[in-house]
């Protein structure tokens, strides 16, 4: 009886280990796919993560700065605004009209470097950002021209018209 019980235990353990490896592999593939998608989005949207660099570029090119504050891993309205506004073909028409700055305040510590997190917190404090998402238009010196805070894709039926009106207003200046 004991050899049979040992054989059954060994068999079940082997199956469990094999399933665990296949789940780990699937998870790794899923993470790689999400990372690849995020890289494509960043390349498409030309986001930079340093406001000081953005000011220099804006002065050189005569552009306004579009500053986007987000909580990428915890803020549901931020995720919705990214999809409903920033990832649209309509927004793509305005990308080259601005120097675009992405300031993320994630909860997970592996999303951005500790140095970037410290820098982002300083920018968040400087512009007194207390709610996410927040989209601001700045002049090339970093002075606020206009801002929109919050987004609800549920109550407003994915109404991004306020965001587009703001972008259109400053894209033509």
Residue 128 is part of a domain; what is its CATH number? 3.40.30.10
Shared domain check, 71 and 4: no
Q: Which residue range is the domain that position 60 belongs to?
A: 46-171
Shared domain check, 76 and 3: no
pLDDT tens-place string over residues 91-129: 999 999 999 999 999 999 999 999 999 999 999 999 999
According to DSSP, the residues that pair with 102 across neighbouring strands are: 68
Shared domain check, 63 and 16: no
Shared domain check, 128 and 53: yes
- What's the whole-number mean pLDDT along residues 11-35? 47
Please check whether residue 163 is in contact with residue 134, taking contact to mean a CB–CB distance below 8 angstroms: no
Residue % of the chain over a pLDDT of 70: 71
For residue 64, count other CB atoms closer than 10 A to its CB. 21
Judged against a pLDDT cut of 50, whether residue 35 lies above it is answered with no
pLDDT at 23: 45
Query: Would you say how long the chain is, in residues?
Result: 173
Q: In terms of C-beta density within 10 A (0-12 exposed, 13-18 middle, 19 or more buried), how is residue 95 classed?
A: middle
- What's the whole-number mean pLDDT along residues 39-45? 44
Of the candidate ranges 4-8, 135-139, 155-159, the one whose mean pLDDT is the lowest: 4-8
Judged against a pLDDT cut of 90, whether residue 84 lies above it is answered with yes
Shared domain check, 79 and 22: no
Q: How many domains does the chain have?
A: 2
Shared domain check, 108 and 153: yes
Shared domain check, 80 and 3: no
Across the chain, mean pLDDT equals 82
Shared domain check, 151 and 74: yes
Shared domain check, 70 and 1: no
pLDDT at 149: 94
Which pairs from 160-166 meet CB under 8 Å and 24+ separation?
A: 160/81, 160/84, 160/85, 160/88, 163/81, 163/85, 163/135, 164/85, 164/90, 164/91, 166/135, 166/137
* Residue whose entry in the numeric block shows the structure tokens 């660099």: 53
Judged against a pLDDT cut of 80, whether residue 138 lies above it is answered with yes
* 3-class DSSP assignment, residue 50: coil
């Amino acid at each position: 009886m004991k050899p049979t019980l040992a054989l059954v235990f060994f068999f079940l353990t082997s199956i469990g280990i094999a399933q665990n490896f296949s789940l780990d592999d699937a998870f790794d593939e899923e993470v790689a796919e999400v990372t690849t998608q995020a890289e494509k989005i960043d390349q498409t949207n030309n986001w930079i993560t340093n406001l000081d660099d953005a000011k220099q570029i804006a002065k050189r090119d005569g552009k306004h700065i579009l500053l986007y504050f987000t909580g990428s891993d915890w803020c549901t309205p931020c995720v919705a605004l990214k999809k409903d506004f920033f990832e649209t073909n309509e927004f793509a028409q305005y990308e080259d009209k601005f120097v675009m700055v992405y300031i993320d305040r994630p909860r997970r510590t592996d999303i951005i470097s500790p140095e970037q997190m410290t820098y982002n917190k300083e920018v968040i404090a400087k512009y007194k950002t207390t709610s996410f998402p927040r989209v601001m238009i700045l002049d090339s010196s970093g002075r606020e021209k206009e801002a929109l805070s919050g987004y609800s894709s549920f109550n407003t039926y994915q109404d991004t018209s306020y965001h587009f009106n703001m972008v259109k207003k400053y894209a033509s200046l």
